Structure 1
């Protein structure tokens, strides 16, 4: 299982980001995810958003930010 999970977009288009069970916050774009990962010690130069061993994108990949229906 990947240590980082990015959940599907909510009604506002935000996606909850969790790293090793710790909620980092809500991201509204891929840059927000990179910022959050940098805050926990991962250098953005070494993070590949398509690295499935690092990030489990649920409900769409790094470029899916449309609000969920409902």
Structure 2
């Protein structure tokens, strides 16, 4: 099974595009500037325990690694 949630690589702005697969289609949830932003997006998408899901590579693909680069504005 492919991950259902994708957190893209960090862009020059410091943000990372977050998307989710729904009904066989990729749906953008927004641009996150921190891990907290990702949690908020996933809560809004209906996940009841997004923090637990973020730690599971079966659910989330972190492109470019999980950590944010604080020098780029993420934190």
TM-score, normalised via structure 1 length: 0.83
Relative to its length, the structure with more helix (as a share) is: 2
Q: Which runs of 4+ in 1 moved over 6 A?
A: none
Unaligned segments of structure 1, at least 5 residues: none
**Which structure is higher in RCO with an 8 Å CA cutoff and minimum separation 6?**
1
Q: CA RMSD in A?
A: 1.5
Q: 1:48 aligns with which of 53, 62, 75?
A: 53
State the shift of 1:65 in Å: 1.6
Unaligned segments of structure 2, at least 5 residues: none
TM-score, normalised via structure 2 length: 0.78
Residue 18 of structure 1 corresponds to which residue in structure 2?
19
How many residue pairs match? The answer is 65
